[in-house]
Amino acid sequence: MKAFVFSGQGAQFVGMGKDLYESNPVAKELFEKANHILGYRITDIMFSGTDEELKQTKVTQPAVFLHSVISAFCMGENFAPDMVAGHSLGEFSALVAAGALNFEDGLKLVYARAMAMQKACEKTPSTMAAIVGLDNATIEGVCSEISSEGHIVVPANYNCPGQLVISGNVEAVKAACDKLKEAGAKRALLLPVGGAFHSPLMQPAKDELQAAIEATTFNKPKCTVYQNVDAQAHTCPNEIKANLIAQLTASVRWTQDVQNMIAAGATDFTECGPGKALQGMIGKIAKGNEAITVHGI
């Protein structure tokens, strides 16, 4: 069975999507539609801007979304998923590609999400850190031990075995990193991000995005969608909306997503979007399973 997965924030690079724009009329039409919806030429930044311009909140998330969705659409009949999933931001791309959201509404929600998250980041000094080479239970225990009111650190992204990202207040994350190094982590690295994504500190963004999601029409997708919040397959529009709202403050259970997709019969994974991060993660999650193939477009 074929699974298509969609990239998250951080995979962007200058030049992304330019080849699609120049070679495919469907891609060009969708990119120009996006320029109109956003009110600025995001294509100029994506194709020939600077790294700093591409890192702007209002640009990064829509850019990754556009590259991912348009890549899938340009496959035509070859885009025939039995199931889809997306990592964090990529869940919006997966929902559009699977037909649960139309292109215009998906882009508007992604832009609203980006701006709401930026506002939340500006309220409280916060960050994230990647923990490598330690089991999940130990990381969860340290986060629980350190966390208190106003001093939050939680598991944010379960990326693959031996790689978990934590998120929270700057001092809490730093304290957790120190303890996790003492506990045997190979690495505990602060990430160059502006806030504590997928933590309770994103509650203001969640409240803001909830209104936008609830006002948007969702359809039944053409295949099952594995969502980050519970790593389960969903096709009910109301369940999908509720999980999408919850996602901003909940952990991204990517390891469990992939494991459950494999358990459901997925043997062929295709990453849609810039970069190869998900391909690497899936390779580690499915390590030893020779029946699994992983590639990108």
Report how far residue 280's alpha carbon sits from residue 22's, in angstroms, rounded to the nearest whole number: 29
Mean pLDDT of 143-159: 94
Would you say 282 and 294 are in contact if contact means Cβ atoms under 8 Å apart?
yes
pLDDT over 80 (residue 57): no
Average pLDDT score over residue span 256-266: 98
> Does 8 score more than 80 pLDDT?
yes
Which tens digit of pLDDT belongs to each residue from 175-185? 999 999 999 99
pLDDT at 153 over 80: yes
User: pLDDT > 90: what percent of the chain?
Assistant: 91
Rounded mean pLDDT, 112-130 = 92
Pick left, alpha or beta for residue 220 (phi over 0 → left; psi -120 to 50 → alpha; otherwise beta).
beta
Residue 150's pLDDT band (boundaries 50, 70, 90)?
A: confident
Please choose, from the candidates 47, 186, 191, the residue with its C-alpha nearest in 3D space to the C-alpha of residue 127: 191
Q: How far is the CA of 226 from the CAs of 19, 88, 192, 198, 258, in angstroms? A: 30, 12, 28, 17, 9
pLDDT higher than threshold 80 for residue 35: yes
Reported as a single tens digit per residue, the pLDDT across 203-255 is 999 999 999 999 999 999 999 999 999 999 999 999 999 999 999 999 999 99
**CB within 8 A of 280, min separation 6: which ones?**
160
What are the CA-CA distances from residue 124 to residues 149, 185, 296 (Å)?
Answer: 13, 27, 37
Task: Report residue 39's pLDDT band, with 50, 70 and 90 as the boundaries.
Answer: very high
Does 31 score more than 90 pLDDT?
Answer: yes
Calpha distance 247→203 (Å, rounded): 10
Q: Known catalytic residues?
A: 88, 198
- Average of per-residue pLDDT across 14-20: 95
